């Protein structure tokens, strides 16, 4: 068990997974009563961690210095939780005045590459190819330096008060010397002074803030990708910046005037000497020690300790989504509670998601080609399509994804997935949609099809569907050997019914069709959860059910019902898709997104759907490519697989605790939950 004292450290998501041990909050003034912790942890060597260090000494246990890993997150700060962490029981890597666990590894006789040579080479290649760094919000590019044929020399500034400067044997005068040395050793070269991002944002001061542009000097204040910048320079001058090691990764000459962790091993041109560092090490060995042995990583899917490849995949996903999404998302006509629930999911950059009540207010924001106008569901607010055409920007329709949450959207439960469609919407067959286009044209890779099979197997094994409200347990119907026909009810004023149905457009008509097709069948009618909860329209009375349904199922989950049935009759319900995943026969009386591909028996023609699909191809298009998935704890874009894991964990935990039923029963309880969500939305920024 590890004791911590910092509220900031305590807020790090999945801290116990990264530390590999249970965590408890401690009190520096407490005595020695109670269970003695195995260690006390604090944030590096900051003054704020002094209480934790004293507590460790008082208890006679190790002090663990925590720091962000070298591949941390998309952006800086608490809004972007770390997916990597350093845990050092001896010192900390940026303190050149004494040994750290990293330095001990490097100075030892250990073969740091033993058994991981291929992994090290692969990780280094990925870091270089994708230009990954500690923070990755600046994108993957850097504008050309345009040196006019001259040599380019990069001088890296740092923030005043950076502990790696002081503990690296440097001060303000070192930075003045750094710039002068670069100029002296490269006469006639273009000297690029890179300002620290926090200085550019006005949050901190830099040591070289006073430097001005001249014929031989250019101050680069804007945020750029560090590796993309390094690729363009001929020589790098640093005090203790991590960019020095990234320069080594790219094969650049690096001169160090401080004593960073990567200096003193025979790879850098050092102006200081550390007598403890007596070995020569290769760049591969430094990378293996720092990025493999010294740093711990979070697996965002399992929420347990993972590997550097898990972190790389996460960072790449954030960058891909940041580049794919529009510059600004101008959302029009959203209710305040819905805005609060979807705002974080629409951009990784604060301030780029805006909510306005109507098209007139949207026009006042001067949308342009890099922006998008967003509205909920299929029907656009008045004037929005015209504004999009005038502004030259796309109009995106938004809906919940196919695997949404544990709980109903109508009860204001926040979603884990969204569909954003630039052409139409998956439930509107009257016009093309991005999903339909993908299913018509896409060529799915073997990796995607394998992922689709895994997702389908997980959903089947864990009984996952869209809302996941009912317990997954076997049903006990008295079918007595008759063919079991499942008829899932729908919300009758739902847009998928209004836009996707023909003659059969209500639950009673659907039941009549099912009975006509299966006069001797055992028909099970399952009301839609929104209808059963009283939130939406579509109830069928007991009197109307006579002779049509043999059983009305209100307790078991829809997937439990699907498992027990032989055939499903549906209008446009997602239950038909759930049934396909489970290998069931599906008859459609409307035009849902999964019909028309040769996998269902369709009572309505869908002429635009031009090819037959395998089930894996349908799953790959509908579940892997189409929705946006979100991790609320890590505050970033995630995978279908991760969301499926979260839903299974959440539902099973609620069921164990006896709280799952409260999400689907009790009018007063649901109204209280809605009020809580609305109050939080009211005071959201």
259-291 exposure pattern, b = at least 16 Cβ within 10 A, e = fewer: bbbbbbbebbebbeebeebeeebebebbbbbbb
4-26: pLDDT as tens digits: 999 999 999 999 999 999 999 98
Instruction: Give the DSSP letter string of 144-202.
Output: ----TTS-EEEEE--BTT-HHHHTTT--HHHHHHHHHHHHHHSTT-EEEEE--HHHHTT
388-409: pLDDT as tens digits: 999 999 999 999 999 999 987 7
Of 42, 48, 39, nearest in space to 21 by CA: 39
Over 80: is that where the pLDDT of 481 sits?
Answer: yes
620-679: pLDDT as tens digits: 999 999 999 999 999 999 999 999 999 999 999 988 888 887 775 555 555 665 666 666
Q: Which two tokens stand for residue 341?
A: 């629930």
41 φ/ψ angles, rounded to the nearest 5 degrees: -115, 145
Spatial separation of the C-alpha atoms in residues 49 and 4, rounded to whole Å:
10
What is the sign, positive or negative, of the torsion defined by CA atoms of 490, 424, 422, 391? negative
Spatial separation of the C-alpha atoms in residues 224 and 206, rounded to whole Å:
17
Q: What's the maximum distance between 2 C-alpha atoms anywhere in the chain? A: 95
Percent of the residues in the chain that have a pLDDT greater than 90, as a whole number: 82
What is the number of helices (H) and of strands (E) in the chain? 26, 26
The answer to whether 533 and 495 are in contact (CB under 8 A) is: no
Distances (CA, A) of 344 to 216, 405, 463, 587: 43, 16, 28, 38
Mean model confidence pLDDT for the chain: 93
pTM: 0.92
Over 70: is that where the pLDDT of 583 sits?
Answer: yes
205 φ/ψ angles, rounded to the nearest 5 degrees: -100, 155
Of 134, 494, 164, 57, nearest in space to 290 by CA: 134
Distances (CA, A) of 195 to 157, 218, 422, 544: 5, 11, 39, 74
Over 70: is that where the pLDDT of 683 sits?
Answer: no
The answer to whether 461 and 581 are in contact (CB under 8 A) is: no
Quick one: pLDDT at residue 262? 98
323-366: pLDDT as tens digits: 999 999 999 999 988 999 999 999 999 899 999 999 999 999 99
CA end-to-end span of the chain = 38
What is the sign, positive or negative, of the torsion defined by CA atoms of 80, 85, 88, 89? positive
Spatial separation of the C-alpha atoms in residues 272 and 252, rounded to whole Å:
19
95-122: pLDDT as tens digits: 999 999 999 999 999 999 999 999 999 9
- DSSP H helical ranges for 1-132: 7-10, 15-19, 50-59, 101-107, 117-130
DSSP-based helix, strand, coil % in the chain, nearest 5: 35, 15, 50
Spatial separation of the C-alpha atoms in residues 673 and 405, rounded to whole Å:
15
User: Which strand (E) or helix (H) includes residue 662?
Assistant: none
Burial of 149 per CB tally in 10 Å (0-12, 13-18, 19+): exposed
> Residue written as tokens 């991760």?
642
Instruction: Give the DSSP letter string of 17-50.
Output: HHHTS-EEE--TT--S-SPPPSEEEEETT-GGGH
Cα 172 versus chain centre, distance: 39
Quick one: pLDDT at residue 538? 65
545 φ/ψ angles, rounded to the nearest 5 degrees: -75, -15
487 φ/ψ angles, rounded to the nearest 5 degrees: -120, 100
């Amino acid at each position: 068990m590890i004791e911590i004292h910092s509220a900031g450290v305590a807020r790090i998501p999945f801290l116990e997974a990264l530390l590999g041990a249970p965590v408890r909050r401690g009190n520096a003034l407490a005595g020695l009563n109670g269970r003695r912790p195995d260690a006390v942890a604090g944030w590096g060597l900051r003054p704020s961690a002094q209480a934790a260090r004293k507590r460790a000494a008082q208890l006679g246990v190790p002090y663990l210095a925590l720091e962000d890993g070298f591949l941390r997150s998309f952006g800086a700060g608490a809004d972007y939780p770390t997916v990597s962490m350093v845990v050092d029981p001896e010192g900390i890597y940026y303190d050149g005045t004494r040994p750290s666990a990293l330095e001990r590894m490097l100075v030892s006789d250990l073969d740091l590459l033993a058994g991981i040579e291929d992994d090290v080479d692969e990780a280094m290649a990925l870091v270089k190819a994708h230009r990954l760094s500690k923070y990755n919000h600046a994108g993957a590019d850097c504008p050309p330096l345009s040196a006019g044929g001259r040599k380019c020399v990069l001088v890296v500034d740092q923030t005043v008060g950076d502990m790696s400067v002081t503990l690296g044997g440097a001060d303000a005068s070192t930075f003045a010397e750094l710039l002068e040395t670069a100029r002296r050793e490269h006469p006639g070269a273009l000297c690029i002074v890179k300002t620290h991002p926090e200085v550019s944002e006005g949050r901190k001061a830099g040591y070289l803030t006073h430097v001005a542009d001249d014929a031989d000097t250019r101050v680069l204040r804007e945020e750029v990708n560090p590796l993309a910048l390094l690729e363009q320079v001929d020589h790098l001058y640093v005090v203790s910046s991590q960019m020095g090691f990234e320069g080594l990764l790219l094969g650049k000459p690096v001169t160090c005037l401080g004593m960073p962790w990567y200096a003193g091993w025979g790879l850098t041109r050092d102006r200081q000497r550390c007598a403890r560092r007596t070995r020569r090490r290769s760049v591969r060995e430094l990378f293996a020690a720092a990025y493999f042995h010294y740093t711990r990583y979070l697996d965002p899917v399992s929420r347990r300790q993972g590997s550097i490849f898990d972190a790389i995949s996460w960072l790449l996903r954030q960058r891909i989504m940041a580049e794919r999404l529009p510059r600004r998302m101008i959302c029009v006509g959203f209710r305040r509670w819905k805005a609060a629930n979807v705002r974080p999911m629409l951009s990784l950059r604060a301030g780029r998601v805006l909510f306005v009540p109507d098209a007139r207010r949207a026009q006042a924001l001067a949308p342009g080609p890099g922006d998008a106008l967003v509205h909920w569901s299929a029907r656009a607010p008045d004037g929005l399509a015209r504004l999009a055409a005038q502004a030259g920007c796309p109009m995106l329709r938004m809906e919940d994804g196919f695997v949404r949450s544990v709980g109903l959207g109508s009860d204001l439960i926040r979603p884990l997935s969204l569909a954003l469609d630039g052409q139409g919407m998956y439930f509107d067959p009257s016009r093309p949609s991005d999903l339909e286009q993908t299913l018509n044209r896409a060529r799915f890779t073997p990796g995607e099809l394998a992922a689709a099979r895994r997702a389908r197997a997980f959903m089947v094994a864990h009984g996952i569907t869209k809302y996941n409200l009912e317990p997954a347990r076997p049903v006990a119907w008295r079918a007595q050997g008759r063919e079991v026909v499942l008829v899932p009810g729908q919300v009758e004023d739902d847009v998928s019914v209004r836009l996707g149905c023909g003659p059969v457009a209500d639950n009673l008509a659907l039941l009549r069709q099912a009975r006509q097709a299966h006069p001797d069948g055992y028909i099970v009618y399952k009301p839609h959860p929104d209808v059963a909860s009283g939130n939406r329209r579509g109830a069928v009375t007991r009197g109307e059910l006579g002779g049509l349904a043999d059983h009305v199922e209100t307790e078991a989950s829809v997937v439990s019902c699907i498992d027990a049935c032989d055939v499903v009759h549906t209008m446009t319900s997602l239950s038909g898709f759930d049934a396909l995943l489970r290998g069931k026969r599906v008859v459609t009386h409307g035009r849902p997104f999964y019909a028309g591909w040769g996998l269902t028996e369709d009572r309505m023609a869908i002429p635009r759907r031009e090819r037959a699909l395998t089930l894996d191809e349908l799953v790959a298009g509908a579940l892997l490519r189409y929705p946006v998935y979100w991790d609320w704890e890590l505050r970033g874009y995630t995978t279908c697989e991760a969301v499926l894991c979260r839903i299974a964990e959440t539902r099973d935990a609620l069921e164990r605790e006896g709280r799952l039923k409260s999400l689907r029963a009790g009018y007063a309880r649901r109204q209280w939950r809605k009020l809580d969500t609305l109050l939080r939305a009211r005071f959201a920024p």
